[in-house]
Structure 1
Amino acid sequence: MPSFDPTRCLYACRHGESLGNIARADAEKRGLAEVVCAYRDADLPLTATGHAQAAWLGRRLAQLPPAQRPVRLICSPYRRALETADAIIRHAYANSRVAFSLDARLRPKAFGVLEGLTRRGVRERFPELAAERERVGRFHFRPPGGESRADVVQRVGDFLAQLRSRHGGEPVLLVTHQIVVNAVGHLLLDDEGDALATDDDGWVPNARLYAFGAAPVPAAQEVEAA
């Protein structure tokens, strides 16, 4: 693997466990067509477990040597990411300062007409879209009103290019979503282990920290599981 320089890197984490994660897992397990949840996707809060995971991650970051600790947090504007970032800041930077900003390009993938549906729901209500997804592959499939994985990769790529030009060389932490962590890996790694190159979901555990080295080819390193 390429060399990893922990003093010059990009960190990324998925938010802590949210009510949406619990609701979707329950709907899939019960074979429902829809995910039953009272919140809009952008407003989904963390569960008690999610808050504990985020606090743990903040304490983990606080243990890093000063040269390795992120000096800037850039966060998705979605509530579950914001709550995760808040816990990280409170536990990792209680006695110091860290720059913080939001960037909409770190939001999750938009599913359009398929929003809130389980795998069964997609097959039953939009069989033609399910067939199209199988035909073109999940990387290029774009549901009406939504995004493809390729669309997410493009916006994340734009974000990373801007990040390099503005904050090159300083450790930065992205507090974001599973698809964005996978997109960062897709853009910065070779094909080995590239989740978006397959049709699987590219599972990223909640509140797990990943680090992407700076040179010569960025390497992903899982820091520790929550």
Structure 2
Amino acid sequence: MGRPRLIILVRHGESESNCDKSINRYVPNHKVPLTARGHEQATAAGKKLREMLLPGENILIYTSPYRRTRETTQDIVSQLGNVEYRVYEEPRLREQDFGNFQFDEEEMTRIWKDRARYGHFFYRIPNGESAADVYDRCAGFNETLFRQFSSDKFAKVLVLVTHGLMTRVFLMKWYRWTVERFESLKNVNYCEFVVMERQENDKYLLKNKMRTWNDPQPDPIITTTTTSPDSDGNSIEEKQNQIRILYEQVRKEEELNNKITVQPTDLAQVVKENTLKEHELLPDVDADVVCDIEDVLDGAGQNWSEMEYGESEEH
């Protein structure tokens, strides 16, 4: 079997739409480029990747065909020197489809509120995709990888240059995580490496501790959310803070509209208990990345906020 020693998922570098969400109203999502800082992040990622290689190891890179991921890939390979590598575009690694050109800020805010109430995984963006749709194409891509692993000539290191949501969906499929666990996870940072290392039993250990919505958050502040592409980068943090405030408003509205006391023996409690038991029995889940499922079941709606007008910290 030609299973690679490492599988590394890399989110693209900072893009222009990460700094100015209004871009998504007139630039196609797949044509959004990196910022200057995004190029710096991708170049640094290339240096890091080269340092992670063992002598003589080669690399196979699959990249989403979006401009920001292709630019990230180009910057990465520019730092590999004489390392042997191959690069292929893989449309199944593309970003979640957010419905072509996006609506104005008021309408997008309404959509994210709807997703918070409906559920992040199953809510389908108008004219676009749900995370469940992304899961389906990710499953097909995983099957392709497993077939390729049968070749002894498969590369020693597999790198997937993709997007924040796709990274989480890929891990969900690979490690058989529940929907609740997926919804509890935050996006990885720009050009952050998510590393899966092959063990002696040929299974892959997730080396990262994935961040969840239960992690401590800074006190919210009210700031602007739109800045120019040459901003100092604070726009992302500002945007997250404002979205947290908006989510708190949504949560309070939900509390006022849901005053029904749940009995311990009702169906919801049974489903919750079964979900917890299922999570505890999953064989391939790394203990370092276990999240508080009980909290997630009680408040999983909040990570509607992690997608900006396209991906919210994602694009």
TM-score of the two chains, using structure 2 as the length reference: 0.56
Q: Is the 8 A contact 1:12 1:181 kept in 2?
A: yes
Q: State the shift of 1:181 in Å.
A: 0.7
From the superposition, tell whether residues 47 and 69 of structure 1 become closer, same or farther in structure 2 (CA, over 3 Å): farther
From the superposition, tell whether residues 123 and 106 of structure 1 become closer, same or farther in structure 2 (CA, over 3 Å): same
From the superposition, tell whether residues 114 and 121 of structure 1 become closer, same or farther in structure 2 (CA, over 3 Å): farther
| Pairs aligned (count) | 201
Q: What corresponds to 1:185 in structure 2? A: 171
Q: 1:160 aligns with which of 114, 124, 142?
A: 142
From the superposition, tell whether residues 48 and 135 of structure 1 become closer, same or farther in structure 2 (CA, over 3 Å): closer
Q: What corresponds to 1:197 in structure 2? A: 183
TM-score of the two chains, using structure 1 as the length reference: 0.76
Matched, 1:77 2:65: yes
Identical columns (%): 25
Matched, 1:14 2:14: no
Query: Superposition pairs for residues 70-219 of structure 1, below 5 Å?
Result: 71-92=59-80, 94-112=81-99, 115=102, 118=105, 120-124=106-110, 130-131=113-114, 133-167=115-149, 170=155, 171-189=157-175, 191=177, 196-198=182-184, 202-215=186-199, 217-219=203-205
The amino acid across from 1:145 in the alignment is: N
From the superposition, tell whether residues 123 and 219 of structure 1 become closer, same or farther in structure 2 (CA, over 3 Å): same
Q: Deviations over 1:97-145 (max 9, x none)?
A: 3111001001000112783555x53344x6xx844x3443111111232
Q: What corresponds to 2:34 in structure 1? A: 46
SS at match of 2:39: helix
Q: Is the 8 A contact 1:61 1:69 kept in 2?
A: no
Of stretches 133-142 and 214-223 in structure 1, the one that deviates more from structure 2 is 214-223
CA separation in 2, counterparts of 1:36 and 1:184?
25
Larger Rg: 2
CA separation in 2, counterparts of 1:183 and 1:58?
24
The amino acid across from 1:23 in the alignment is: D
From the superposition, tell whether residues 116 and 89 of structure 1 become closer, same or farther in structure 2 (CA, over 3 Å): farther
Q: What corresponds to 2:278 in structure 1? A: none
Q: State the shift of 1:36 in Å.
A: 6.3
Q: Deviations over 1:79-109 (max 9, x none)?
A: 00001000111102x2233111001001000
CA separation in 1, counterparts of 2:63 and 2:195?
16
Q: 1:61 aligns with which of 45, 49, 67?
A: 49
The amino acid across from 2:208 in the alignment is: E
**Higher RCO (Cα < 8 Å, 6 or more apart):** 1
Q: What corresponds to 2:220 in structure 1? A: none
CA separation in 2, counterparts of 1:43 and 1:113?
11
Q: State the shift of 1:184 in Å.
A: 1.4
The amino acid across from 1:10 in the alignment is: I
